[in-house]
Chain A
Amino acid sequence: MADIPSSELGAGQTLAVRAQALLAQFGKLPVLMLIAVTWLGFMLAVAILADLITPYPYTQMDLHNRLSSPVFMGGDWAHPLGTDELGRDVLSRLIASIRMSLLIAFGATIIGAVIGVTLGFVAAHFRGFIEQIVLALVDFSAAIPFLVLALAVLAFFGNSIVLFVCLLGLHAWERYARIARGLAISGNAQGYSAAVHQLGASPLRLYGRHILPNIASTLIVSMTLAFPEIILLESGLSFLGLGVQPPNTSLGNMVGFGREYLSSAPWIMLAPAFVITITALCISLVGDGLRDKLDPTLT
């Protein structure tokens, strides 16, 4: 997509042509990127189709088949990835966990971007005292390790899925705020912004319709860079037993419970550990690739 100037993608082109262009681009990707994009597409499909492809309900217990081995360790195909300590199918739990972890990461990334961009724009628009407050907040979030902050909030407020997603949404907001503020300030100095302002557009319209599209590519790159970090954070907190709570399950949650059976049933922990690592790896590969194409100035 990036090679095609956005003007050519304008109104005249049909969806089919665009899809074709996208496919052509896809074919030109380096092998590693191709693998990464394919894996991410696969994960996305698993998350969306979770209910259709899951062999068992993920909470269904089968007490006769507890801790049975996966196929590659001498088990049978009834439970391809084995079962856990309650006889629940590991593959089904993995599918449910992928959906939960991706959902949380998507939600949190979007929340972070919205908060960060809004505050960045507010700082750029008002300057002066308000800008200093936003910058002080940015300093503050850079000062404390986010995991510790998150733990403190969970300790004081207890845990619920909604709070948990909002909390993870606060991760990396300061990065978007910094980027949005810097780009909005330089955007404000340019002709198009002055013109729109002279035409009588409200600040909301100016920032939403004119400045935002101009800085979108940089923001998208930062989002792809923050996304794997949120997956790792979520899995870390859930692993510690402080994130997603049973009966819900997430990738980190599975690893955490699998820890008890590390010596007798390592497969409970290995499957989600593999998915976490490979997914984080693929997203950061794709993110790096996007960055090189869209915005080489970003580090």
Chain B
Amino acid sequence: MLHYLGTRLLRATVSVVMVVTFVFIVLRMSGDPAVVIMGADAPPEAVDAFRTAWGLDQPIWVQYLSFFKAIFSGDLGQSMRDGRDAVAVVLERVPSTLALTVPAFLLNVGIGIPAGVYAALHRNTAIDRFVMVMAVTGFAMPSFILAMLLVLVFSVNLGWLPSAGQDSWLNAILPIVTMGFGGAALLARFTRSAMLEVLGQSYIRTASAKGLSWSAVVWRHALQNAAIPTVTIIGFMLGGLVAGAVVVESVFSWPGVGRLLVVSVSNRDLAVVQAIVLMIALTMVAANFVVDILYGLLDPKMQSQTRAARA
């Protein structure tokens, strides 16, 4: 287990280094950062001053190292819009984004997993078909289309819910439902197939043959084994949730990190874009690391494998 943890930690570290390197390379490849950030018609003295201030007159490997140092001391430059610290600009948007993503994630798990398990246990019934139709629709319908259909029905036609802004908790309902549905559909599909696979295994037949009640078989044996692939998918889903937030926040004019990213990209506010990309990447790496650990804890095979490897 310790060995397993060690390799995972190493991989996570390598991912972090690669993300930082990627941002560094993209930033340098996109042209002279001084000109990019100051604008093409900035006076040459100002550009030179910027170069010295940011160490752009140093050799490239010195710049690379100081880039690392700056990132880990939380200094990512200033937002071009208002000259404030880029990290602060991003951090103040985080609570708004969490207010959408956390309930959406709970909806994903709370609807997706039970729906998938139920569909698998009642295969080929009407409810199973319904769950599958919803799951496939959830995949094929991008979140911005679902979002706009919801706005069309609940804001424009019925007038029940606001379509944009952040004035009250009512504003959060449509974005949360949009993000919740897509993820729930995906999770239901995966849980169903994971469950079906487990239910077809011989140990399930053995468990029911030895006289265990069906609910005990499902709860004690099937669910625990189906949980293993499902946890992996949940790890991947976090990425989808972040990407979903980018789109959904833009549709509903919700002042979160996702909308900030889109606005900053259109304004080419590079310091803020860089801060957001790094923050998301670090969150994702951390989340995947946690999923890997959970995976190791859930799957007894993983532990016996490492034990066998040591013996």
Contact = CB atoms under 8 A, between A and B. Distances in A.
B244 to A, nearest CB: 9
Contact of A269 (B139, B142, B148, B288): B148
B35 to A, nearest CB: 13
Interface in B269-311: 270, 273-274, 276-277, 280-281, 284-285, 288
B185 interface: no
A262 B19 contact: no
B243 A262 contact: no
A113 to B, nearest CB: 21
Contacts, number: 133
B140 interface: yes
Nearest to B18: A140
Given A143-B19, A153-B26, A276-B142, A262 B152 contact: yes
A145 B11 CA distance: 17
A140 B265 contact: no
Contacts of B14: 136, 139
B148 A262 contact: yes
B111 interface: no
B247 A240 contact: yes
A232 B139 CA distance: 10
Contacts of B27: 156
B7 to A, nearest CB: 12
Given A143-B19, A145-B242, A277-B141, A151 B151 contact: no
B23 to A, nearest CB: 7
A101 B32 CA distance: 33
B264 interface: yes
Contact of A145 (B19, B243, B262): B243
B22 interface: yes
Contact of A148 (B142, B144, B152, B243): B243
A276 B145 contact: yes
Nearest to B16: A143
Given A139-B15, A155-B273, A277 B265 contact: no
A3 B29 CA distance: 50
A240 B275 CA distance: 20
A185 interface: no
B266 interface: yes
B273 A259 contact: no
**Binding site secondary structure of chain A:** helix
A147 B243 contact: yes
Contacts of B230: none
A252 B148 CA distance: 12
A139 B142 contact: no
Contacts of B77: none
Contacts of B284: 143-145
B251 interface: yes
B149 interface: yes
Contacts of A139: 11, 14-15, 18
A151 B156 contact: no
Contacts of B288: 142-143
Nearest to A272: B145
A273 B262 CA distance: 21
Contacts of A278: 140
A142 B152 CA distance: 35
A137 B19 CA distance: 10
Contacts of A156: 26-27, 29-30, 36, 270, 273
B165 interface: no
B136 interface: yes
Q: Which of B137, B142, B274, B276 has the most CB of A within 10 A?
A: B142
Nearest to B277: A152
A239 interface: yes
B29 to A, nearest CB: 8
A292 B311 CA distance: 41
Nearest to A146: B243
Contact of A236 (B142, B270, B277): B142
Nearest to B197: A299
Contact of A284 (B136, B264, B276, B281): B136
Interface string B149-190: 101100010000000000000000000000000000000000
Interface string B204-248: 000000000000000000000000000000000001101100110
A143 B273 contact: no
26 contacts: A140-B18, A140-B19, A143-B15, A144-B277, A147-B243, A147-B246, A148-B276, A151-B273, A152-B274, A154-B265, A156-B29, A157-B26, A157-B30, A235-B144, A239-B144, A239-B247, A262-B148, A262-B151, A262-B152, A273-B148, A276-B145, A277-B140, A277-B142, A280-B142, A281-B137, A284-B136
- Shortest Cβ-Cβ A-B pairs, 10 listed: A281-B140, A156-B30, A147-B243, A155-B265, A145-B239, A280-B140, A145-B243, A273-B145, A140-B18, A155-B273
Given A155-B270, A236-B143, 8 more contacts: A140-B22, A143-B15, A144-B239, A148-B261, A235-B144, A273-B145, A281-B139, A299-B193
Interface of A: 136-137, 139-140, 142-149, 151-158, 228, 232, 235-236, 239-242, 252, 255-256, 259, 262-263, 266, 269, 273, 276-278, 280-281, 284-285, 299
